[in-house]
Chains A and B, each alone.
Chain A
Amino acid sequence: MASYKDIAPFIDTGRNRGSRIFGYTGLGIGTLLLLSCLQFYLDINQLIKEKSLRKDGFDFISVTREITNENMGKDNRLTLANLQEIKSAPGVEDAAPLISNQFRAKVSAGNVIPFSTDIFLEAINNNFLDTLPPGFIWQEGQNNIPIILSSEFLEMYNIFAPTQGLPQISGESAASLNVQLECFTITGVEGFRAHIVGLSDRINSVLVPENFLIWANKKFGQSENAPFSRIYIKTRDANNPNLLQFLDKKDYHVNKERTRFGRIKQVLQGIIAGLGLFAILVIALAILLFAFYLQLLISRSRDNLRLIVTLGYEPGWVGKQVSKRWVPAYGIIVLIALSGAQILHSIFRTSVHSGMDRMSFPISIYTFALGLIIFCVCAVINSYLLRKELRRL
């Protein structure tokens, strides 16, 4: 069976080495750029995903109305229609309103801490709470109201308490405090005993059981189905650019800290997509250069190739044999590019100390797969062009 070496003496591949090396270099740079773009994209995704506060694989972010100079002074609370709209937003698994008290409420800590203040109470569906102590339940007729307090509020209290001559209190001791809660109506005041059953890192509020607040609003308040100022979203990814885009477009305000990475991600995605496109362009140009090189090779060896075919060699076979000569070169280029992507990934991994353990040492399987695809595309295009040119002889 004939092989390439039998026809090699008749094919002029030796000259124009410069353009071939130039093509190889272009292909190498383009491939490295494209593989690195993909790897960085995957790395950044991994980092951002791990940075957000999550529970059971979900992120919870609060949504309010954006208050601007134009709308300030108006009622910017959210309605049931807004809730439905947010529920249908991309990436939203569920959404729930944070309902607030529609009556005046006041707390005092009795004689131990001589402190009293008007307060707002809020309630949300239990599924949206990051902590759900067993005592956080209320039944009608029960005078004891369980409260979940924002841990940030406690922190704030502890900051200003010494300057006011008040004692600082720990999270554990806060639970043992008996607080008097007074709910004001037009006709009078009703008192309850309240105690802190837990601290929430997620919701900055004073939370009471939802059924209590619904009951209290009905009993002490003026309106039962009042609009709400906050809605909580349950989502798989708080950094989902589509979700953030939707919320921005609709003038909803979201917790910047929670979605900060999403905004970074949006920018990075743009940069990476731009670089990726540039890389694809470089690869396309390199392939084009190879196409020119092949045309040159064939036109220079045209008479010999024509004679080879005249003697009984099949053009397809000749094309295959000649194109096979490029396969090792393509393989080496892709391997070098993969190694380069691995080196860059390792440098990135060690430079991001906090995320090092979250990124695997080897580059992603997707990056490998992309390398393989580039290799196959080059080999197939090469073979196709050669066969096409040979059949024109």
Chain B
Amino acid sequence: MQIQLQQLQPVYLEQEKLVGSEIWNTQQFFESGSLVEIVAASGRGKSSFIHFLYGLRNDYQGKISLEGVAPDAFNYKQTALLRSKKLSIVFQDLKLFESATCLQNILVKNALTGFSSTDAIEAMAERLGVRNKLAAMAGNCSYGERQRIAIIRALQQPFEFLLLDEPFSHLDEMNREKALDLILEETKKQNAGIVLADLETNPSFPATKRLKL
């Protein structure tokens, strides 16, 4: 999948915040398999940009095209297909079912795609240090634990691009490395690309393109 941006800018963002941006109001092209890191301070529209790509919001000017089609132009079926086969995401606010267990949160995605075995899911949880949290209610876990559950959930599907919105914000250095390693490994397996939005540059992320928002 290729992502193309043409003069994209949120309709609500103040003009002064657009100045100097390498995304807003520019032409960008993320080729398939590229690792894109987008860095910006809070309030510059990182989450908005990720939501635009995922088709959750359409309050923007300019054009986004995923293989030639704007994400908000897809019908319900096409959107569902896009989100279960081509685009995966880790939301900044995680979007977990708080009153369900961590395992149920992961399985709800895996049931849709049939992508991983339970053993593989448990192995990932083990690797990220949250295996003992699988049976716990998501709402009772720490933000860092929930962040790792959200990452595991995002990896339970085939994808061509993985959208990450500050995915390591509540992880310590060691867990951040572990999570990034898992993400890079799974992405490589699928020959996919990543769009990582973060507050600061992550030196461990082998970006092929770094852009300031």
Chain A interface residues (CB < 8 Å from chain B): 1-3, 6-7, 9-10, 304, 307-317, 391
User: Which of B83, B84, B100 is A9 in contact with, Cβ under 8 Å?
Assistant: B100
Q: Which residues of A contact B82 (CB under 8 A)?
A: 312
Chain A residues with CB under 8 Å of B56's CB are 310
Chain B nearest CB from A105 CB (Å) reads 90
Judge whether B97 and A2 touch: CB under 8 Å: no
Q: Check A312–B95 contact: CB distance below 8 A.
A: no
Nearest first, the 6 closest Cβ-Cβ pairs linking A and B are A312-B84, A312-B83, A6-B111, A314-B80, A2-B111, A2-B112
In the complex the two chains form, is B83's CB within 8 Å of A6's CB?
Answer: no
B108 beta carbon closer than 8 Å to chain A: yes
Among B97, B107, B109, contact of A312 (Cβ-Cβ < 8 Å): B109
**A311 and B112 contact, Cβ closer than 8 Å, known pairs A316-B76, A316-B77:** yes
Instruction: State the main secondary structure of chain B at its contact with A.
Output: helix
A308 to B97, CA, bound (A): 9
Question: How many angstroms between the C-alpha atoms of A307 and B98 in the bound complex?
Answer: 11
Cβ contact within 8 Å between B104 and A9: yes
Bound CA span A56–B153, Å:
78
> Can you list 8 A-B contacts (CB < 8 A)?
A6-B107, A304-B97, A310-B95, A312-B80, A312-B81, A312-B84, A312-B109, A313-B80
Closest to B157 in A: A312
Q: Which of chain B's residues has its CB closest to A315's CB? A: B76
B129 CB to nearest chain A CB (Å): 24
A312: which B residues are within 8 A, CB to CB?
A: 80-84, 109, 112-113, 157
The answer for the CA separation of A218 and B76 in the assembled complex, in Å, is 89
| Residues on the A chain within 8 Å of B97, using CB | 9-10, 304, 307
Give every chain B residue within 8 A of A316 (Cβ-Cβ).
76-77
Return the chain B residue nearest A10 by Cβ: B97
Does any Cβ of A come within 8 Å of B139's Cβ?
Answer: no
User: Which residues of B sit under 8 angstroms from A309, Cβ to Cβ?
Assistant: 80
Least Cβ–Cβ distance between A267 and chain B, in angstroms:
54
Complex contact A313–B76 (CB within 8 A):
no
Residue of B nearest to A306 (CB): B95
Query: Given A9-B100, A310-B56: A317 and B80 within 8 A (CB)?
Result: yes
Once bound together, how far apart are the Cα atoms of A316 and B80, in whole Å? 10
- Whether A391 contacts B95 by the Cβ 8 Å rule is no
Kindly list chain A residues whose C-beta atoms are within 8 Å of the C-beta of B104.
9
Chain A residues whose C-beta falls within 8 Å of the C-beta of B206 in the assembled complex: none
A314 CA to B80 CA, complexed, in Å: 5
CB proximity of A96 to chain B, nearest CB, Å: 70
Is B62's CB within 8 Å of the partner chain A?
no
A311 and B83 contacting across the interface, CB-CB below 8 Å: yes
B91 nearest in chain A by CB position? A310
B79, B82, B97, B108, most chain A CB atoms within 10 A: B108
Give the Cβ gap from A302 to chain B, nearest Cβ, in Å.
13
The residues of A that contact B95 with a CB separation of less than 8 Å are 307, 310
Q: How far is the CA of A391 from the CA of B157 in the complex (A)?
A: 24
Q: How far is the CA of A310 from the CA of B163 in the complex (A)?
A: 14
Residues of B within 8 A of A7 (CB): 108
Interface flags for B52-83 (1: CB within 8 Å of A; 0: not) read 00001000000000000000000011011111
